[in-house]
């Protein structure tokens, strides 16, 4: 294979680490970012950082039960524990890599028996005792070890971001499940009230039928409405049980040992600041992890490049050798050896150059992954900001529809009691009113979930900003 030209600092520079590490120095990849989002103004460009504080963002919902549950995620969630173990592995690997900068010292003690066959002398067994120390030290001339440390440091930082990402994902899922249970309980209360109202309507209709002022079809229609509402209410219990089981797993408990009492009300959605700085994307651990992996891959190019140059090491050994244990440590039996070694690959069919090419390709791959992660982050923020804007309008319309449906139902029920309309008119309006009520609850639930998704998309909320702060370009 063709070797690279050797830089001029070979001997003295080798001993003093005078040569800068080979391979490219890392520069954070550029990303295309918008001057402002479509759904809000005043955003500035984002740069990832894996040490940005996140805090207990779920407290913005002001729910003590939710706070207690979410706090258990970091302690008991098994996915988080697995990510934490991965982070400890990365730290241990970094310590192992750093150890390459210092000499390796070994010790050895041995006792050997030997016998030499001879026709002129009697067979005898001799003993050889030895005690020795050895030293091996790779001189990091081309920066292979330093680049490896750089890569391990970046990988450890990426692993820390992975841990934060696992925590954020588990916390987000838990908060979503909790809010969905709150919405489920609100719908359950709605259906309880609806079933009670339908039961009263059925009783009235039966009385009117017995009095001869209503038809049998009115009774059967009222019974159909009542039983349909009961079936829909029963279906809510299935959804609640599944959500409750999901929360149990998220906090590391068997579902059979966990129960959540019915929630009284939906939490009020927290106010989203009118202008959020895009620097909040620095809190996204997946962005930080992707950027750190790009840095680690860049350093690996230097490791692969350094393998193309000769390796220089310092070897030393010394100790004592004697055939008698009593005189082993005497000065006459000591020995030592010291000297540098230089080794290189003369021919490998292009394997080392192929490894360098692979390292460059892995770096390009990690850069693309980082840019895609940033793009996805902006998309998720845009999606949820757009959802919150649309849901405000949708909820206003749904609440207006609910008020109109309630008034229509009141009027229609009075008309039915007066005998001016049939029960079919009442049933139609009752269904419309129930649908309007469900639309309001559904909109409120979706508004809460969109807020949680926005918090997650921003990497853990907007705590720490002064109220109403905007950070324009």
**pLDDT tens per residue across span 420-461:** 888 889 999 999 999 999 999 999 999 999 999 998 988 886
9 band by pLDDT with thresholds 50, 70 and 90: very low
Q: What is the pLDDT of residue 122?
A: 58
397 band by pLDDT with thresholds 50, 70 and 90: very high
Percentage of the chain surpassing pLDDT 90? 55
**Bigger pLDDT: 54 vs 434:** 434
Q: How far apart are CA 156 and CA 148, in angstroms?
A: 12
**Bigger pLDDT: 39 vs 437:** 437
What angle is formed at CA 36 by the lines to CA 453 and CA 384, rounded to 5 degrees? 15
pLDDT at 296 over 60: yes
Cα 31 to its chain centre, rounded Å, is 21
Lowest mean pLDDT among 32-46, 76-90, 284-298: 32-46
Summarize the confidence of residues 155-170 as an average pLDDT.
Answer: 93
Q: What is the pLDDT of residue 12?
A: 44
**pLDDT tens per residue across span 250-271:** 999 999 999 999 988 888 888 7
Q: What is the pLDDT of residue 330?
A: 81
Lookup: tokens for 459: 């990497």
38 band by pLDDT with thresholds 50, 70 and 90: low
- Which residues share a beta bridge with 129? 111, 322
Domains and CATH numbers, the chain: 17-111+125-457 (1.20.1600.10)
Q: What is the pLDDT of residue 263?
A: 87
Q: Is 142 exposed, middle or buried (0-12, 13-18, 19+ CB in 10 A)?
A: buried
Contacts of 448 (CB under 8 A, 6+ apart): 61, 179, 182, 183, 266, 267, 269
pLDDT at 369 over 60: yes
- Looking at every residue in the chain, the average pLDDT score rounds to 85
Lowest mean pLDDT among 42-51, 64-73, 354-363, 455-464: 42-51
Summarize the confidence of residues 116-126 as an average pLDDT.
Answer: 64
**pLDDT tens per residue across span 57-104:** 898 888 999 999 999 998 999 999 999 999 999 999 999 999 999 999
**Bigger pLDDT: 87 vs 467:** 87
**Bigger pLDDT: 323 vs 189:** 189
Q: What is the pLDDT of residue 37?
A: 57
**pLDDT tens per residue across span 202-245:** 998 999 899 888 889 989 999 999 999 999 999 999 999 999 99
């Amino acid at each position: 294979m063709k070797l690279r030209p050797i830089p001029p600092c070979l001997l003295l520079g080798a001993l003093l680490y005078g040569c800068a590490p080979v391979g490219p120095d890392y520069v954070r990849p550029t990303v295309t970012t918008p001057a402002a989002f479509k759904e809000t103004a005043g955003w500035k460009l984002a740069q990832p950082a894996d040490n940005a504080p996140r805090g207990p963002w779920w407290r913005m919902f002001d729910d003590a039960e939710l706070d207690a549950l979410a706090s258990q995620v970091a302690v008991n969630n098994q996915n988080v524990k697995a990510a934490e173990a991965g982070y400890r592995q990365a730290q241990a690997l970094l310590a192992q890599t750093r150890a390459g900068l210092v000499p390796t010292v070994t010790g050895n003690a041995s006792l050997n028996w030997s016998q030499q066959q001879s026709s002129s002398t009697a067979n005898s067994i001799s003993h050889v005792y030895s005690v020795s120390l050895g030293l091996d030290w790779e001189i990091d001339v081309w920066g292979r070890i330093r680049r490896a440390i750089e890569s391990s440091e970046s990988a450890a930082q990426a692993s820390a971001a992975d841990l934060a990402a696992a925590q954020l994902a588990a916390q987000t899922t838990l908060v979503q499940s909790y809010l969905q249970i709150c919405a489920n309980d609100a719908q359950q209360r709605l259906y309880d009230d609806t079933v009670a109202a339908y039961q009263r309507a059925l009783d009235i209709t039966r009385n009117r039928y017995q009095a001869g002022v209503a038809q049998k079809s009115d009774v059967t229609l009222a019974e159909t409405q009542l039983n349909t509402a009961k079936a829909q209410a029963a279906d809510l219990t299935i959804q609640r049980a599944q959500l409750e089981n999901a929360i149990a797993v998220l906090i590391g408990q068997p579902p059979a040992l966990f129960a959540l009492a019915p929630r009284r009300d939906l939490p009020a959605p927290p106010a989203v600041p009118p202008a959020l700085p895009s620097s909040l994307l620095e809190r996204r651990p997946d962005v930080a992890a992707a950027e750190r992996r790009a840095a680690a891959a860049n350093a690996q190019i230097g490791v692969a490049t350094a393998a193309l140059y000769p390796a220089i090491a310092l070897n030393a050994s010394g100790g004592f050798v004697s055939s008698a244990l009593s005189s082993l440590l005497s000065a006459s039996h000591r020995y030592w050896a010291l000297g540098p070694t230089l080794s290189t690959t003369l021919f490998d069919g292009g394997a080392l150059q192929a490894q360098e090419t692979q390292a460059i390709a892995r770096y390009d791959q990690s850069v693309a992954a980082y840019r895609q992660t940033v793009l996805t982050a902006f998309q998720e923020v845009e999606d949820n900001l757009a959802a919150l804007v649309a849901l405000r309008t949708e909820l206003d319309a749904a609440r207006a529809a609910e008020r109109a449906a309630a008034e229509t139902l009141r009027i229609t029920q009075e008309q039915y009691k007066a005998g001016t309309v049939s029960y079919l008119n009442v049933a139609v309006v009752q269904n419309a009113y129930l649908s309007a009520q469900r639309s309001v609850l559904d909109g409120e639930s979706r508004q809460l979930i969109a807020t949680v998704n926005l918090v997650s998309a921003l990497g853990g909320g907007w705590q720490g900003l002064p109220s109403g702060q905007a950070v324009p370009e």
